[in-house]
Amino acid sequence: VLLRGPKNAREAVKHFGKASGVPHSHTKPYVRSKGRKFEKARGRRKSRGFKV
């Protein structure tokens, strides 16, 4: 138990908290890849979630 390290440093913890869409939240979204087609264009085009 002593050598496990801090539990809040786990990768899963980075996804907890306020949704990644709201301002001032540094919550990691669950995306399979970091690319142009993967949640990069959210809010910019209709096919990626929503359009503003």
What is residue 20's predicted lDDT score, i.e. its pLDDT? 80
Distance of CA 5 to the CA centre of its chain: 23
**Residue 2 belongs to what domain range?**
1-30
Q: Tell whether 2 is covered by a domain.
A: yes
Q: Tell whether 25 is covered by a domain.
A: yes
Res. 2 pLDDT band, cuts 50 70 90: confident
Q: Which residues contact 42 (CB under 8 A, 6 or more apart)?
A: 21, 48, 49, 50
Q: Tell whether 6 is covered by a domain.
A: yes
Average pLDDT over residues 30-46: 88
Res. 27 pLDDT band, cuts 50 70 90: very high
Average pLDDT over residues 11-40: 88
Query: What span, in angstroms and rounded, lies between the C-alpha atoms of 48 and 14?
Result: 23
What is residue 14's predicted lDDT score, i.e. its pLDDT? 92
CA angle 12–1–26, rounded 5-degree value: 20
pTM to 2 decimal places:
0.57
Q: How many domains does the chain have?
A: 1
Query: What span, in angstroms and rounded, lies between the C-alpha atoms of 9 and 41?
Result: 29
